[in-house]
Amino acid sequence: MNRNFFNIYQYIAFIVIFPLTLFIWYKEFSNIKFAFLFLSLPILTAYIIPAIGTNVTRLWEFNTRFMIGKFRIYHGFVLGSVTSLFGFMFYKISPNYNGIINSLIFATICGAFIAFWNWIYDIFAVKCGFIIINNKSAYEKKSAHEIVFDYAPVYFYAFGFIYSLYIKYLEYSISTNNLLNIFLIYFHIASLTIPPILYAFSSKIKYGIFEIGKYIPLEEKH
The answer to whether residue 9 sits within a structural domain is yes
Domain count, the chain: 1
Per-residue pLDDT at 14: 81
Per-residue pLDDT at 221: 57
Residue numbers in the chain where pLDDT is lower than 70: 1, 95-98, 218-222
The answer to whether residue 216 sits within a structural domain is no
Per-residue pLDDT at 97: 59
Shortest CA distance to 164 belongs to which of 186, 182, 192, 187?
A: 187
The answer to whether residue 81 sits within a structural domain is yes
Query: How far is CA 170 from each of CA 25, 34, 43, 194, rounded to the nearest angstrom?
Result: 11, 8, 16, 20
Three-class SS state of 213: coil
* Other Cβ atoms within 10 Å of 41 Cβ, number: 25
The torsion region of residue 179 among left (phi > 0), alpha (psi -120 to 50) and beta comes to beta
Per-residue pLDDT at 11: 85
Per-residue pLDDT at 68: 80
Per-residue pLDDT at 218: 60
The answer to whether residue 66 sits within a structural domain is yes
Can you give the residue range of the structural domain that contains 183? Answer: 3-211
The answer to whether residue 145 sits within a structural domain is yes
Three-class SS state of 152: helix
Alpha carbons 24 and 28: distance in angstroms, whole number: 6
Per-residue pLDDT at 220: 62
Amino acid of residue 103 = S
The answer to whether residue 103 sits within a structural domain is yes
CB 2 within 8 A of CB 125: no
Query: How far is CA 175 from each of CA 68, 96, 165, rounded to the nearest angstrom?
Result: 41, 10, 15
Three-class SS state of 218: helix
Per-residue pLDDT at 62: 86
